[in-house]
Amino acid sequence: MGYADLQSCIADLERHGRLRRIGIPVDPYLEAGMIQRRVYRAGGPALLFTNVTGSSFPLLGNLFGTLERTRFLFRDSLKTIETLVRLKINPFTALRDPLDSLGAGLKARHLLPKTVAPSSAPVLRCRTTLAQLPRLVSWPLDGGPFITLPQVYSESPLKPGVGKSNLGMYRVQLAGNRYEPDRQAGLHYQIHRGIGVHHAEAKARGERLKVNIFVGGAPAMTVAAVMPLPEGMPELSFAGLLAGQRIAMATLPGHLPVPAEADFCIVGSIEPTATLPEGPFGDHLGYYSLEHPFPFVEVEAVYHRPDAVWPFTTVGRPPQEDTSFGAFIHELTGDLIPTVLPGVKAVHAVDAAGVHPLLLAIGSERYTPYDGVTRPMELLTQANAILGQGQLSLAKYLLIVAEDDNPALDIHQVDEFLQHLLARVDWRRDLHFQTATTIDTLDYSGQGLNSGSKVVMAAAGPVRRSLATALPAHLPLPEGCGAPRLALPGVLVVQTGAAQQGRGEQDPHIERFCAFWQECPLPEGLPLVVLVDDSEFTARTLDNLLWVTFTRSNPAVDIYGVGAATTGRHWGCSGALVIDARRKPFHAPPLEEEAQLARRIDDLAAASGPLAGLW
């Protein structure tokens, strides 16, 4: 049986040597997050900070810090979920394995939350205030303390009840900016989130939207809040399935229900149209998301259980703890992709590139099997379907290839995937842009907040070129370019001067570089050139290449080409594709730790220090 609450989870992890208590004083301002990030990188244990500066509540960090530990947390329910996924893919599985299928069907009753009296709900036994909650700040330029693992619950004003509810992980700023102390909290939800539908319904009715913000409780609740579930399946139902037991909910008169076993609950509501500045906040692309107007919660009450623990994480340039979330979610749902997107064999949101900036896909080419595959056809239909599917629609670069060209291609081996595509792509034909559309709220490479462009790169058919595995002795470089590096076979990284262009503008220097390479052609084996601020850093690792290239470029503006031409409004190039991946003046700043504090924290992990052995 899974965990009903966080306390039983902590005890179980401790019994199995998977959690370490930290008794030294730890400040939630920068220190706790800095320790958690280091322990995550080392593959270390969950952390329980029992002596938190300025707070009476312990902090729990790195709970989902490894994929292996995340599997351990849900070991009792994974088989049930896997069986139900198989049944979704092929109901005839039940005929081959009826006992397993029957067991899964019986456990499906956990999908239905159960109602308990408020008097029996631990979370409602104590009251506190926003000011008494842990003031967790992860990065030096953050605009205030944030809840980093919130579960924000709302219901449809048109059809109240769990059936049309939404539980999402939308960051919550507890103080700072212009929020009234102890009365208001910022609520940053991005585009394509379920709460937005509920907010729109409330606005149309001229009503405030009621929300509850849960922290802690069953670990299954935290995972459910980030799951990309099919429409019509409430996150509370999935949480019960993952927890291996029905989620107990208590309702206070006039308010939304509360998970009885949660550690904290903030009760409040959102005005239909009112906003306040929220942010900055160090986010998962590796940069700060800046201050912008977002809704806020008018807080009516803050509840907590007597033994409450405050779970937290820190986000930043991947990989971070949310990387384990993504890997776990893919394990649970990856096999469903072909049932949702016909013809699509696999999809991979690349964590090292910040997830939404880069999406890889393997599809099929079945349109003209009698004629042989020589160019992308069905892949383009599948690409459109992918970009119309949930949060996949936020992808900025979608690279898609045909399965039959290499059935053994592993979509998670990003370097091999890129080489497969570059060996086959025809830049004159295989680039397909959406030039003015929505992108990830956290991505500052575009034309504005939530606004940017997308490109599909589709490759199918025989190999067109052999990719260079070493730089030629005499590589032609235009004036202003230098320090060439071969980041991958076929991928040339070149350093050039700092970008000066404004938002939505192209750089005439790069047009001149392309003209130079048209006169002095690059080798055919170098089909992709990436222009950067620091070529040594970019080419040092694959993760660096992915992060720099795809987080710092806006396809419709920052893609150039040697021998570029537009035919019937279709843009392409006969020579190398050139991506301007330099930092632009309007980009958000990257995340950097305070050097002095980092040295002090690292000293605590020395051989004789209180954090010895953690990293």
Give the pLDDT band of residue 190 (cuts 50, 70, 90): confident
**Region 339-459: CATH code:** 3.40.1670.10
| Per-residue pLDDT at 374 | 85
C-alpha span between 151 and 272 (Å, rounded): 21
Domain ranges of the chain: 6-312, 339-459, 481-580
CATH 2.30.40.10: does it fit domain 6-312?
no
Q: Is the pLDDT of residue 472 over 80?
A: yes
Burial 56-65 (b: 16+ CB within 10 A, else e): ebbbbbbbbb
Element housing 567 (H / E): strand 564-567
| Per-residue pLDDT at 85 | 67
Q: Quick: pLDDT tens for 336-346.
A: 788 788 999 99
| Per-residue pLDDT at 91 | 42
Inter-residue contact 169 to 226 (CB < 8 Å):
yes
Q: Which of 365, 370, 395 is nearest to 382 (CA)?
A: 365
Residue 240 Cα distances to 85, 237, 342, 484, angstroms: 16, 5, 29, 54
Cis (ω within 30 of 0) for the bond into 489? no
| Per-residue pLDDT at 329 | 84
Q: Which residues contact 517 (CB under 8 A, 6 or more apart)?
A: 476, 478, 529, 562, 575, 576
Q: Considering the chain, what percentage of its residues have pLDDT values greater than 90? A: 81
| Per-residue pLDDT at 78 | 86
Q: Is the pLDDT of residue 102 over 70?
A: no
Mean pLDDT, rounded, for 136-148: 97
Burial 198-217 (b: 16+ CB within 10 A, else e): bbebbbeeeebbbbbbbbbb
Helices (H) and strands (E) in the chain, counts: 18, 32
Q: Quick: pLDDT tens for 13-71.
A: 999 999 999 999 999 999 999 999 999 999 999 999 999 999 999 999 999 999 999 99
Task: Name the residue with tokens 């500052």.
Answer: 444
Mean pLDDT, rounded, for 105-119: 81
Q: Is the pLDDT of residue 233 over 80?
A: no
| Per-residue pLDDT at 88 | 57
Q: Is 67 helix (H, G, I), strand (E, B) or coil?
A: helix
| Per-residue pLDDT at 98 | 47
CATH number for domain 481-580, candidates 1.10.3470, 3.40.1670, 1.10.10, 3.40.50: 3.40.1670
Instruction: Provide DSSP, 451-471.
Output: EEEEEEEEE-SS---PPPSS-
Instruction: Provide DSSP, 580-614.
Output: E-SPPTTSPPBP---HHHHHHHHHHTSTTSTTTT-
C-alpha span between 231 and 209 (Å, rounded): 21
| Per-residue pLDDT at 86 | 63
Q: Is the pLDDT of residue 99 over 70?
A: no
3-state secondary structure 266-283: EEEEECCCCCEEECCEEC
Give the pLDDT band of residue 370 (cuts 50, 70, 90): confident
Fold equal for 6-312 and 481-580:
no
